[in-house]
């Protein structure tokens, strides 16, 4: 298996599990993951939030861990990476306002490189205008956004544990889908895990 270089887009109040688990899992299987954030340098931290599903009308939010950025957003060259991961949480709602970040996403799409986006990460895909005709899912509150962006909404199961693939795009509704979306993303990367 060839190790891949993966870019991850993060910001303050990114969802804790959606940044920590993929960051660690992708490295565990031998890939190199660079987490970048606009206006932050390697070694700086972003705050995270834990979003949980406790029977309320929407998710609850609790303080998470601090997550350390390990690469420089300002000098990021999308051509140097094989794939992109966009975690959810509250960060995507303001990260999507950064024009350079949107251009980075568009470059991954134009180059037909694998992209995984989870939960509210799809707000960035909507802002980048890259969902036209694509099958995608997200946290349920994003269904209107995805449909208005020309995407085809894919239903979420009761446990929020399913994920969808359309070409090189993998989307999932939230962190309970980690086993499914990470497995599908690894397949796109050509990663083989055997007993």
Q: Strand 152-153 and strand 135-136: pairing?
A: parallel
Question: Tokens 């406790």 correspond to what residue?
Answer: 54
Q: Give the model's pLDDT for residue 187.
A: 97
Q: Give the model's pLDDT for residue 53.
A: 85
pLDDT in tens, 87-104: 999 999 999 999 999 999
Helix boundaries (H) for 47-142: 91-95, 99-110, 122-128
Q: Residue 11 in contact with residue 39, Cβ under 8 Å? A: no
Tokens of 67: 């997550």
Task: Give kind and range of the element (H or E) at residue 25.
Answer: helix 16-28
Q: Give the model's pLDDT for residue 133.
A: 98
Residue ranges for the chain with pLDDT beneath 70: 1
Q: Residue 118 in contact with residue 97, Cβ under 8 Å? A: no
Q: Give the model's pLDDT for residue 195.
A: 80
Q: Strand 115-118 and strand 169-172: pairing?
A: parallel
Determine which one of 31, 34, 51, 120 is catalytic.
Answer: 120
120 is catalytic: yes
Q: Give the model's pLDDT for residue 194.
A: 81
């Amino acid at each position: 298996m060839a190790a891949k270089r993966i870019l991850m887009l993060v910001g303050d109040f990114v969802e804790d599990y959606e940044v920590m688990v993929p960051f660690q899992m992708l490295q565990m299987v031998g890939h190199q993951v660079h987490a970048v954030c606009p206006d932050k340098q390697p070694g700086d931290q972003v705050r995270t939030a834990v979003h949980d599903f406790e029977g309320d009308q929407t998710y609850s939010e609790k303080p998470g861990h601090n997550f350390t950025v390990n690469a420089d957003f300002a000098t990021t060259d999308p051509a140097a990476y094989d794939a992109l991961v966009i975690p959810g949480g509250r960060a995507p709602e303001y990260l999507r306002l950064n024009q350079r970040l949107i251009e980075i996403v568009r470059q991954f799409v134009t180059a037909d490189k694998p992209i995984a986006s989870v939960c509210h990460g799809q707000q960035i895909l909507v802002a980048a205008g890259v969902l036209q005709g694509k099958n995608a899912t997200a946290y349920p509150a994003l269904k209107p956004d995805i449909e208005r962006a020309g995407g085809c909404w894919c239903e979420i199961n009761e446990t929020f544990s399913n994920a969808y693939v359309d070409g090189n795009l993998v989307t999932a509704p939230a962190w309970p889908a980690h086993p499914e979306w990470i497995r599908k993303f690894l397949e796109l990367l050509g990663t083989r895990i055997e007993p």
